[in-house]
Amino acid sequence: MLSASQLAGILPAIPTPVRSDGSVDEAAARKLVGHLLMGGVDGMLPLGGTGEYGALSRVTRSRMASVCAETVAGKVPVIAGVLDPGYHDALAAARDFASVGVDALLVVTPYYTNPTQAGLRDYFLRFADESPLPILLYEIPYRTRIALDPEVTHLLSRHERIIGMKVCNTDMYHFLRVIAGVDADFAVLSGEDSLFPLHVAAGAHGGIVVTASLLPRTWRRMFDLASQGRTSEALQLHRQLMPLIDLTFGETNPGPLKSVLDMIGIDAPDVLAPLVQPASALQARLRSEVERLLAVCENA
């Protein structure tokens, strides 16, 4: 059973390579996972927002989770996203993913119903009790409009089957309050490419990083610097990636990311409705930036 101590470093949030009919392009998915393993990542996260969870069928999600787990073959943890807003659908997804061999689940705060903090607390406690796998909390208020109060996170962190959290809350003071009170055996992971070195300097164990799919070695080097207290050097490296981060999120993720995967040998540009291909001008600028970074950072 996966524990918090096994959650550290760089865990890319990976896109789901798909064919034109919406099915998983398994060859491309395996190639992407292999690329990341060669890049020295510490785990990976399929089927989050970057994996277009909401646009995939339940069967397709399970297949992507299975392909990742099979290809990783126990080398690093595989954490599958569970982004359903309803409890029973989320639990069904958890059981599907457990059956194909993933190691843990990233469970988003239930949205649309606008629950109270007491409702969020009870939801996650019940889910942890019934889940077949350990879970990580997933807080991303700029998509869900719901944030977990730090005090609720502190309480949840003491549950033996809630082993960590992906933080996509850009409020740094909120982050510091979370870190200040979580259980020692609880892995807080940055979910923000834009704040990653600051989050690690403030106590994050690592991060679930979108652009690490393109530059796994560079992000791993940044983590090493930040976790060793070499914050100034980590920030200097991060500054080199800021134009890439801005462009990657210049339109809704993962459209821009998928449009340049061929630059690392993965030909899988298709996105699923309601996403569309990013504007040609954005793609051109992004390709230029990826080309530069592959030369000066990733292959240095």
* Percentage with pLDDT > 90 across the chain: 98
For residue range 201-224, what is the model confidence (pLDDT) as tens digits?
Answer: 999 999 999 999 999 999 999 999
In which domain, by residue range, is 42 found? 4-230
Look over the chain and give the mean of its residue pLDDT values, rounded to a whole number: 97
Kindly list the distances between the CA atom of residue 209 and the CA atoms of 11, 25, 92, 212, 284, in Å, as whole numbers in the listed order: 6, 22, 26, 5, 22
Residue 243 falls inside a structural domain: no
Catalytic residues: 138, 166
pLDDT of residue 82: 98
CATH label of the domain that carries residue 85: 3.20.20.70
- pLDDT band at residue 81, thresholds of 50, 70 and 90? very high
Range 287-295, long-range pairs (CB < 8 A, 24+ positions): 287/259, 287/260, 287/263, 289/243, 289/244, 289/247, 290/214, 290/244, 290/260, 290/263, 291/263, 293/214, 293/215, 293/218, 293/240, 293/241, 293/244, 294/215, 294/263, 294/264
Residue 251 falls inside a structural domain: no
Residue 16 falls inside a structural domain: yes
Residue 132 falls inside a structural domain: yes
> What mean pLDDT is predicted for residues 57-82?
98
Residue 299 falls inside a structural domain: no
- pLDDT band at residue 187, thresholds of 50, 70 and 90? very high
Q: Could you give the number of structural domains in the chain?
A: 1
- pLDDT band at residue 68, thresholds of 50, 70 and 90? very high
Instruction: Return the number of other C-beta atoms located less than 10 Å from residue 157's C-beta.
Output: 22
Residue 41 falls inside a structural domain: yes
Written as one string, the DSSP assignment of 50-87 is TTTGGGS-HHHHHHHHHHHHHHHTTSS-BEEEE--SSH
pLDDT of residue 253: 97
Q: Is the pLDDT of residue 20 over 90?
A: no
pLDDT of residue 60: 97
- pLDDT band at residue 299, thresholds of 50, 70 and 90? confident
- pLDDT band at residue 241, thresholds of 50, 70 and 90? very high
* Percentage with pLDDT > 70 across the chain: 100
Among 143, 88, 81, which residue's Cα sits nearest to residue 111? 143
Q: Is the pLDDT of residue 300 over 80?
A: no
Residue 291 falls inside a structural domain: no
